[in-house]
Structure 1
C-alpha cells in the first residue's frame, strides 16, 4: 500500500502479518523491557522489514535503535520512517544524498471521535473536511488528515529535532491523492512547507511525505 505513494529512490517494505521468522538483534531486544505482546510484535516486524530495506542501501544486519522521542535512529547516510497499525506494518528508507527526510504513516479507516477530531483539526480545516466529504464521501477524510499530520511530523522532527503538534501545521487535502502542509511557526531554519501523498483502501489510510535533498 505504502509503495503506491512513494517516489522513485525510496525503498519500502510492508506486510499485513507478523512473519514467524522475524527476529530482533540483541541491541534491539534491550529496548523492549516490560513491553506488552502486541508492542513486541509490531516492533519486531518493523525492524525485520527495515533490515530488508536497509540491505538494499548497503546496510545489512544494522540494528535499528531509538532516539529520545522513540524515533528510529537510521544508519549514517540513510533517512527513513516506520509505521504500524492493526493488520499493517511498513517501512520506507532512502539515501540521504537523495532525500533529506521521509515520513510515512498508516491508520485504520475508522472515523475519529469528536474529541480527537478537535485535537487534530484546526478550525479552518473543518470546512475543508466537510467539503471533501460532500464530494467524495467514501474517503475517511478525518483519518487522512490525522495520518497526513503524522507523516509531516515524522519528516519534520529529524530535520529540526523539535516537536510539532497537530495544531502546529495547516493542511490542504486534495482528492487527487496529494496534500500540502504549512508549518505555522517553523522557527529559525525550520522548513515551513511539505508536500505529500495519500491513499485509502482495504480498510486503511496511508500517507507519505518526502523532502528532496538540498
Structure 2
C-alpha cells in the first residue's frame, strides 16, 4: 500500500520489524536503532559529512542514515547529541565511554552501541539474504563449516555461506578495534548452534584452532535481511 506522500506501508513495517528482531538478539543494555534511509533525505547537513569526501549520492545517503540512527541509539544510553567523526580506518569514532558498530545494506541501516564500562567491543553486520557464488563461498568458509549444509539451510531457510559471511564480518568489526589485527575470512572458523541462533567464532592460527581465542555471538534474519552481533563484555 502506497500513501499519498509516496511512502510504502509494507516497507516501513518490514524495516520496523527488522529492527525489532535485531533488538531481540542483543542484551538489554545494548542500544539498537535502525531502519531505512528516509531520515537521511531531510535537508539537514551533518558535520561529519565534511570529512566524507567526494562520494556517490547513495554512499552519502547511507552514511547520513547511519549517523542519524547512531545519535538515536546514543540518546537511549543517555549520551547527548554529539558528532561521530570518521576515523583513519573509516570506522566511526564513538564518544568517550561508548563502543558501537554501524552496518548497511542497500536499503537498511542498523546501529548497536553500549557503554565501555559494560563492553570492550561491539560488532554488527547486516546483509541481504542472497546466496554467495561458489567461488566467493570458497574464500569465506572452511570445509568443516559446511558440514550438514543442507540440514542447516533447511532449518534456517537461507544460504549457509552467506550467513557465515555475515557472522565473520560482525566478529571482525568487534575484534579489529581491540587488537588492530587484520583477519581474513578463513582466519576464523564458526561453530553454529542453530536452535539457539548462537555462533562461536574461533580464531585459527596456521590452520590450528586456538581454543582460548573463542567468542560468542548471535545471528538471525528478518524480512530478507540476515544479521549478526558480537559483544565482548568488559571484565
With the length of structure 1 as denominator, give the TM-score of the two structures.
Answer: 0.90
Question: Which of 139, 164, 174 lines up with 2:158 in the alignment?
Answer: 139
- Deviation of 1:138 (Å): 1.6
2: CA distance, partners of 1:81 / 1:6: 13
Question: Which of 109, 112, 121 lines up with 1:89 in the alignment?
Answer: 109
- Deviation of 1:87 (Å): 1.8
Q: What residue number does 2:15 align with?
A: none
Question: Which of 4, 11, 26 lines up with 1:6 in the alignment?
Answer: 26
1:95 to 1:139, Cα distance in 2 relative to 1, 3 A: same
Q: What residue number does 2:74 align with?
A: 54
Check if 1:172 corresponds to 2:196: no
2: CA distance, partners of 1:123 / 1:51: 41
Q: What residue number does 1:149 align with?
A: 168
Question: Which of 39, 49, 56 lines up with 1:36 in the alignment?
Answer: 56
SS in 1 for 2:176: helix
Unaligned runs of 5+ in 2: 1-17, 207-211
- Deviation of 1:47 (Å): 0.2
Q: What residue number does 2:209 align with?
A: none
Question: Hey, which bits of structure 1, 4+ residues long, moved more than 6 A?
Answer: none
The structure whose Rg is larger is: 2
2: CA distance, partners of 1:17 / 1:71: 19
1:128 to 1:161, Cα distance in 2 relative to 1, 3 A: farther
1: CA distance, partners of 2:33 / 2:95: 17
Give the stretch that moved more between structures: 13-22 or 100-109. 13-22
Check if 1:195 corresponds to 2:216: yes
Question: Which of 121, 128, 133 lines up with 1:108 in the alignment?
Answer: 128
Q: CA RMSD in A?
A: 1.9
- Deviation of 1:137 (Å): 6.0
SS in 2 for 1:164: coil
Q: What residue number does 1:183 align with?
A: 203
Q: Deviations over 1:164-195 (max 9, x none)?
A: 11111100122121110101149xxxx71111
1:25 to 1:178, Cα distance in 2 relative to 1, 3 A: same
Unaligned runs of 5+ in 1: none
- Deviation of 1:200 (Å): 1.3
How many equivalent pairs are there? 208
Contact 2:190–2:199 (Cα < 8 Å) also in 1: yes
- Deviation of 1:197 (Å): 0.8
